[in-house]
Amino acid sequence: MRIEKENIVIRSVIVDDAEQLNQWWNDGKVMELTFEDASINDIDNIFNLSKNLIENSDLDDRI
């Protein structure tokens, strides 16, 4: 799967993502942002959540 909108790309996870995902999973600041909107029902909410993560954390561009 690959979805693109503006400068955000959502794609299927690959094995090479494991290290970065583990870091995010164990980062309380990232996880707080992730669960801020528990009603993720549509693609616009997913993109807004992604923007929130990018704008409010020190993540690199590997999303």
Number of domain units in the chain: 1
> What are the average pLDDT values for consecutive 10-residue runs of the chain, which has 63 residues?
89 90 84 63 72 68 52
Q: What is the pLDDT of residue 61?
A: 53
- pTM reported for the whole predicted model: 0.44
Q: What is the pLDDT of residue 18?
A: 92
Supply the range of the domain harboring residue 43. 2-55
Task: Confirm whether 43 is domain-assigned.
Answer: yes
Task: Confirm whether 36 is domain-assigned.
Answer: yes
Task: Confirm whether 24 is domain-assigned.
Answer: yes
- What residues form DSSP beta bridges with 2? 11
Q: What is the pLDDT of residue 16?
A: 92
Task: Confirm whether 11 is domain-assigned.
Answer: yes
Q: What is the pLDDT of residue 48?
A: 77
Q: DSSP letters along the chain, please?
A: -EEEETTEEEE---GGGHHHHHHHHT-HHHHHHHTS-----SHHHHHHHHHHHHHTS---S--
